């Protein structure tokens, strides 16, 4: 592990015959200062979770730069309202830093209240607000009372933790809204947590639930809105797709509303099938279980020939995975395995100990596993392992292309869904098109930049 910062060595392990090197991976902790983490800040973590609520207004209380993290770079689809696609900022400047930004925030909320009569506003406190000490909560409360609407303070100064802290702040904000409607009778139905409908995945998952006869009450937060959020407390089960962002919310809903939860993943044939059956079993619904088994068999039979056709081109290739949460990484390793691709490097931004244990148990010997990586580390291990493709998000794309290797976006920039059986077809098509593109012949040729 030469060229790796001393403080980072605990967060990188190599799988050997006995399991992983060292005393297990260090994860779920703050980034090492100066290590140039690939993680986003606390505010960005909060925004990721809350932004897809389609009829909510999002006011970024801070300098205009923070507001650049908008729908445009974190798209999610809507079937109704689209107010969430517009960002609002208090545009704090030097004068506000000296004299305080509270008046500006109050004026911004008043303007939105008078012009749009919203039901729900989120106000994000950014780094500078944490420094100057504006009382965002007090202003939100005052405005909620004055206009009889929900104005929720999201305590998310970028420096106040890591991206996972932002997830928790967003989940707390959601709880502030839904716990006001928690005394409702239970009905037979589920909430879907941790899918953000980036390219229509929530619609795919909902359609599968409909096919096996399971009622969906609320979704957090892909394609959700204020009215549907109000129904959440009456659900009998929560299913959690993105464990990193939404397990905290599921835990709070379990403790405070008595709704149990299970973790699911709808990436890949294996995980989609297992998850649909698991949901039916958790509800004790035998009819739904039978329907899930039959539906998944029919769908996987339909795409089996397609997968086998491409598998020939992909067997023997090597992949690196660097994604947000551990559950997605696990699904991707399984998907690659089904295609004959070995995962040689795998890491996450916010994976938990138990997720890393699963990762360790399903990867091959000599796989590098790393938490909260930085570009230098990803580059080093991708070169060492001579990988053919990197799967990641917007911040990893340039790294792959600079190294001259293929890339697959499994995050916010993509425009096609990767969930469910439809998603498998899209995933295989993209991986094949990217890995086997003729351009790599040139980047890997003499004098090209690949791995030099």
Q: Contact between 43 and ligand SF4 (CB under 6 A)? A: yes
338, 307 contact by CB (below 8 A): yes
Q: Closer CB to ligand SF4, residue 166 or residue 417?
A: 166
Pairing of strands 342-348, 318-323: parallel
Using CA atoms, how far apart are residues 370 and 356, in angstroms rounded to an integer?
9
Helix (H) or strand (E) holding 120: strand 120-125
Q: Identify the burial level of 36 via C-beta atoms within 10 angstroms of its C-beta, where 0-12 means exposed, 13-18 middle and 19 or more buried.
A: exposed
Q: Which is nearer to ligand SF4, 43 or 84 (CB)?
A: 43
User: Does the protein bind ligand SF4 through residue 41 (CB under 6 A)?
Assistant: yes
Angle between helices 136-147 and 102-116 (to 10 degrees): 30
Residue 123 · residue 59 · CB < 8 Å: yes
Q: Contact region for ligand SF4 (CB under 6 A) — 41-49, 171-179, 211-219, 329-337? A: 41-49
Size of the site for ligand SF4 (CB under 6 A): 8
What backbone phi and psi angles, to 5 degrees, belong to 367? -70, 140
Q: Distance between CA 272 and CA 300 in Å, rounded?
A: 10
Q: Which span sits near ligand SF4 by CB under 6 A: 36-44, 90-98, 131-139, 384-392? A: 36-44
Report strand pairing: 237-240 vs 216-221: unpaired
Binding flag, residue 66, ligand SF4 (CB under 6 A): yes
Distance, in Å, from the CA atom of 1 to the CA atom of 4, rounded to the nearest integer, reads 6
Stretch that binds ligand SF4, among 1-9, 15-23, 40-48, 423-431 (CB under 6 A): 40-48
Nearer to ligand SF4, 73 or 448 (CB): 73
Q: Are 423 and 204 in contact (CB under 8 A)?
A: yes
Query: Of residues 62, 118, 200, 392, which one binds ligand SF4 by CB under 6 A?
Result: 62
Closest chain position to ligand SF4 (CB): 158
Closest CB 128 distance from ligand SF4, rounded Å: 7
Q: Is 158 near ligand SF4 (CB under 6 A)? A: yes
Binding mask 345-384 for ligand SF4 (x = CB under 6 A): ----------------------------------------
Instruction: Name residues whose C-beta falls within 8 Å of residue 262's C-beta, 6 or more positions apart in sequence.
Output: 237, 238, 239, 240, 278, 279, 282
Least Å from the CB of residue 44 to ligand SF4: 6
Closest to ligand SF4 by CB, 158 or 392: 158
Instruction: Say whether residue 165 binds ligand SF4 (CB under 6 A).
Output: no
Residue 155 or 352 with smaller CB distance to ligand SF4: 155
> Segment contacting ligand SF4 (CB under 6 A): 38-46, 236-244, 372-380, 435-443?
38-46
Strand partners, 402: none
What does 385-439 look like in DSSP terms, one character per residue? HT-SEEEE-TTTHHHHHHHT-EEEE-STT--S--SHHHHHHHHHHHHHHHHT-TH
Task: Between 64 and 107, name the residue whose CB sits nearer to ligand SF4.
Answer: 64
Binding span for ligand SF4 by CB under 6 A among 37-45, 182-190, 196-204, 425-433: 37-45
String of contacts with ligand SF4 for each residue 109-148, x by CB under 6 A: -----------------xx---------------------
Q: How far is the CB of 328 from ligand SF4 (least distance, A)?
A: 23
**Contacts (CB under 6 A) with ligand SF4, residues 315-334:** none
- Burial bucket for residue 346 (CB in 10 Å: 0-12, 13-18, 19+): buried
Chain centroid to CA 92: how far? 29
- Residue number with CB closer to ligand SF4 (158 or 420): 158
| Residue 196 interacts with ligand SF4 (CB under 6 A): yes or no | no
| Residues found near ligand SF4 in the complex (CB under 6 A) | 41, 43-44, 62, 66, 126-127, 158
């Amino acid at each position: 592990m030469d060229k790796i910062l001393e403080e980072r060595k605990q967060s990188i392990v190599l799988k050997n015959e006995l399991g992983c090197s060292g005393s297990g991976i260090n994860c779920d902790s703050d980034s090492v200062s100066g290590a140039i983490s690939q993680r986003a800040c606390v505010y960005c973590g909060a925004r990721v979770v809350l932004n897809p609520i389609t009829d909510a207004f999002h006011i970024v209380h801070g300098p205009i730069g923070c507001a650049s993290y908008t729908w445009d770079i974190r798209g999610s689809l809507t079937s109704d309202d689209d107010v969430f696609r517009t960002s609002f900022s208090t545009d704090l400047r030097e004068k506000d830093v000296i004299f305080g930004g509270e008046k500006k925030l109050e004026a911004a909320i008043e303007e939105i209240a008078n012009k749009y009569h919203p039901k729900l506003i989120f106000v994000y406190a950014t780094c500078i607000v944490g420094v100057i000490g504006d009382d965002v909560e007090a202003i939100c409360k005052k405005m909620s009372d004055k206009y009889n609407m929900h104005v929720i303070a999201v305590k998310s100064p970028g420096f106040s933790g890591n991206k996972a802290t932002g997830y928790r702040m967003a989940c707390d904000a959601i709880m502030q809204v839904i716990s006001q409607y928690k005394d409702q009778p239970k009905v037979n139905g589920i909430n879907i947590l941790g899918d953000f409908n980036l390219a229509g995945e929530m619609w795919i998952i909902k359609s599968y639930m409909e096919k096996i006869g399971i009622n969906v009450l609320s979704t957090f937060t892909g394609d959700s809105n204020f009215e549907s959020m109000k129904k959440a407390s009456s659900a009998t089960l929560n299913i959690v797709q993105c464990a990193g962002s939404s397990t905290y919310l599921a835990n709070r809903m379990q403790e405070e509303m008595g709704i149990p939860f299970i973790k699911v993943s709808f990436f890949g044939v294996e995980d989609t099938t297992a998850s649909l059956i698991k949901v039916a079993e958790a509800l004790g619904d035998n009819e739904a279980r039978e329907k899930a088994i039959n539906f998944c068999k029919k769908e996987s039979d339909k795409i089996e020939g397609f997968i086998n056709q491409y598998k020939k081109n992909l067997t023997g290739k090597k992949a690196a995975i660097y994604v947000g949460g551990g559950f997605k990484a696990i699904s991707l390793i399984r998907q690659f395995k089904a295609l004959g691709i070995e995962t040689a490097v795998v890491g996450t931004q916010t994976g938990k100990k138990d997720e890393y244990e699963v990762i360790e148990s399903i990867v091959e010997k000599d796989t590098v596993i790393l938490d909260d990586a930085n570009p230098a580390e990803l580059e080093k291990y991708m070169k060492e392992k001579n990988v053919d493709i990197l799967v990641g998000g917007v911040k990893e794309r340039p790294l792959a292309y600079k190294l001259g290797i293929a890339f697959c976006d499994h995050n916010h920039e993509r425009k096609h869904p990767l969930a469910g059986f439809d998603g498998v077809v899209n995933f295989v098509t993209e991986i094949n098109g990217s890995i086997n593109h003729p351009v790599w012949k040139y980047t890997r040729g003499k004098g090209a930049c690949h791995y030099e």
